Amino acid sequence: MSRPDVDAILSAFDAALAEASTPDDVQEVRRLHTGKKSAVKAALKGLRDVPPDERPQVAQAINEARRVMEERVATALTEAQAAALAAELDAEWQDLTLPGVSATRGARHPVTLVERQCMEVLRRLGFTLVDGPEVEDPFYNFDALNIPEHHPARDMQDTFWLPNNLLLRSHTTTVQARVLERSSELPIRIASSGRVYRNEAVDATHLAMFHQLEGLWIDRGLTFAHLKGVLAFIARELYGKDRRIRFKPKFYPYTEPSIGVDLACVHCDGAGCEACHQAGWVTILGAGMVHPKVFTQFGFDPSEVSGIAFGLGTTRMAAQWAGVTKVNTIYEPDLRVVRRLHRGAK
């Protein structure tokens, strides 16, 4: 009968463990030297061949060797894992004190900026912003605004018609009609903004979709003088108090009388000016006194109440302020236009 050589088992284990450099290597040593097919397990199974009087002593020596192996494996595994982590950190090291690469900040759309600036001016006059649908009923888009069925604006060449006798609104005046329908308490001072749609050929100065902002003021005693005063205040607050403005007659079905507001073109040098096409003036506002038929349509007595209505083309304003001559540029993803407008170019 032979006794297991515990010292030889430990020596072979230590030699193998000394060669292990990674956590996986250490785990492999554990498997080979303490697992089911290891020399330690074989020694424990061979205890039956040891004389009975020596068996307790030999078993104690084998178990002690196995305990020592487990301790050394645990220590070696901790060291290997720490070394592996240190190597990974060293390979991935970055100098966190260096300045980072920041992403470019986004910006609001030029038309949004124009709308907000317009509303800052209108709120000082007591106007509040209201909203309405873009898919409209012909009543609010035409009939309620003194635009009869024979009017050319109702042709398919001018308006986008949809199934079920609906249409894409051709102006934000539809919101004013809806407010007049549900409101009777005076005064009424509202503004509406958003997308409108015209069935037009797209070119440098025309789009099938663009933005408008309109205002409506209904009260007793309002006169044409109030209209001119409001328009002059809006124009000068938006474009500068020293800018020259002029009024000219216009026609709109839902206002009578109707006027337009022109702004002196600061870019015009008498030749080759694309901003005003050599006219020296740029139209920025259309307005008028609310037509009596519109009041009658919604149950107001035109002999007792009066109103002023006006509209701004916010798409055109954004193009003017950004210094571009093609309005379609406003709706293209061109950062040069957005940055130019954000720098305050007007």
Domain with residue 194: its CATH number is 3.30.930.10
Same domain for 115 and 220, yes or no, is yes
Same domain for 85 and 11, yes or no, is yes
Same domain for 64 and 137, yes or no, is no
Residue 211 falls inside a structural domain: yes
Residue 313 falls inside a structural domain: yes
Per-residue model confidence (pLDDT) at position 1: 44
Same domain for 10 and 134, yes or no, is no
The span from the CA of 159 to the CA of 99, in Å, is 55
Q: Which residue, of 62, 91, 120, is where some domain finishes?
A: 91
Same domain for 48 and 175, yes or no, is no
Same domain for 84 and 119, yes or no, is no
Residue 97 falls inside a structural domain: no
Task: Please write the tens of the pLDDT for every residue from 164-204.
Answer: 999 999 999 999 999 999 887 899 999 999 999 998 877 76
Residue 102 falls inside a structural domain: no
Torsion angle of C-alpha atoms 22, 27, 33, 37, degrees rounded to 10: -140
Same domain for 118 and 80, yes or no, is no
Same domain for 145 and 81, yes or no, is no
Per-residue model confidence (pLDDT) at position 197: 94
Residue 210 falls inside a structural domain: yes
Same domain for 117 and 54, yes or no, is no
Instruction: Please give the tally of structural domains in the chain.
Output: 2
Same domain for 209 and 334, yes or no, is yes
Identify the domain containing residue 30 by its residue range: 6-91
Same domain for 133 and 41, yes or no, is no
Residue 130 falls inside a structural domain: yes
Per-residue model confidence (pLDDT) at position 148: 85
Residue 101 falls inside a structural domain: no
Residue 99 falls inside a structural domain: no
Q: Which residue, of 59, 91, 123, is where some domain finishes?
A: 91
Q: Are 162 and 135 in contact (CB under 8 A)?
A: yes
Per-residue model confidence (pLDDT) at position 345: 43
Q: Which residue, of 39, 63, 91, is where some domain finishes?
A: 91
Per-residue model confidence (pLDDT) at position 157: 66
Same domain for 238 and 325, yes or no, is yes
Q: Which residues of the chain have pLDDT under 50?
A: 1, 270-272, 345-346
